[in-house]
Amino acid sequence: MEKGNVLMVCLGNICRSPLAQGIFEQLSKEFSITVDSAGTARYHIGSTPDPRSIKTALNHGIDISKQKARQFTRLDFDSFDYIFVMDLQNLKNVLELSQTEKERSKVKLLLTNEEVEDPYYFGNQGFEIVFNKIEKACKEIIGLWKQ
Ligand code: 4NP
């Protein structure tokens, strides 16, 4: 698999995709690629990540506290080679904005045949589970790039 720019997408861009951005940034330091995240909804535009995501990332040595939430736009189909979504609702929302087969081919669930569940209504433990699932998936992707 070719390396490329990665966009992580969830609903609010304050819980899951900021973690995914932080993790992928750390794992891909040696590649000169762009890693970013966005939400399909606009509720949290401009917000820093949820304190539970910030804390969970920090426990793993990753600082995501300076990220600011933004909404996914059609321009992202041009800027990014891979658009990884966390769940099936995100997948639907992003695909609804696509216009070409090429755009659609960039969009994939981050986990294989599994969703990264929204931890918004969970406690800290939910965020740790989400972190570990995302980290595993990101490592697999980077592993494929290195071959
Ligand atoms: P995220 O979690 O999509 O992982 O950022 C959510 C955060 C906030 C809301 C939904 C999901 N919300 O409805 O406000």
- Look up 81 and say whether it is catalytic: no
pLDDT computed for residue 143 by the predictor: 95
State which fold the 6-145 domain adopts: Rossmann fold (3.40.50)
Domain-wise residue ranges, the chain: 6-145
Between the CA of 51 and the centroid of ligand 1 the distance, in Å, is 13
pTM above 0.85, yes or no: yes
120-141 pLDDT, tens digit each: 888 888 999 999 999 999 999 9
What is residue 71's DSSP assignment? Answer: B
pLDDT at 29: 93
- Name the pLDDT band for 57 (thresholds 50, 70, 90): very high
CA-CA-CA-CA dihedral for 67, 34, 27, 97, to nearest 10: 80
Distance CA 31, CA 67 (A): 20
Nearest CA to ligand 1 atom 11: 12
By percentage, how much of the chain surpasses pLDDT 90? 93
Instruction: Calculate the dihedral angle through the C-alpha atoms of 45, 53, 74, 36, rounding to the nearest 10 degrees.
Output: 110
- Which residue, among 13, 5, 112, has the nearest Cα to 64 in the 3D structure? 13
pLDDT at 31: 93
Q: Mutate which of 118, 127, 133 to test ligand 1's pocket (most atoms within 8 Å of Cβ)?
A: 118
Read off the pLDDT of each residue in 6-19 and give the average, rounded to a whole number. Answer: 98
Task: Kindly state the average pLDDT of the residues 16-30.
Answer: 97
Under the banding of pLDDT at 50, 70 and 90, the label for residue 97 is very high
Residue nearest to atom 7 of ligand 1 (CA): 12
Catalytic residue (one of 15, 16, 87, 138): 16
**Which ligand 1 atom sits nearest the alpha carbon of residue 69?**
5
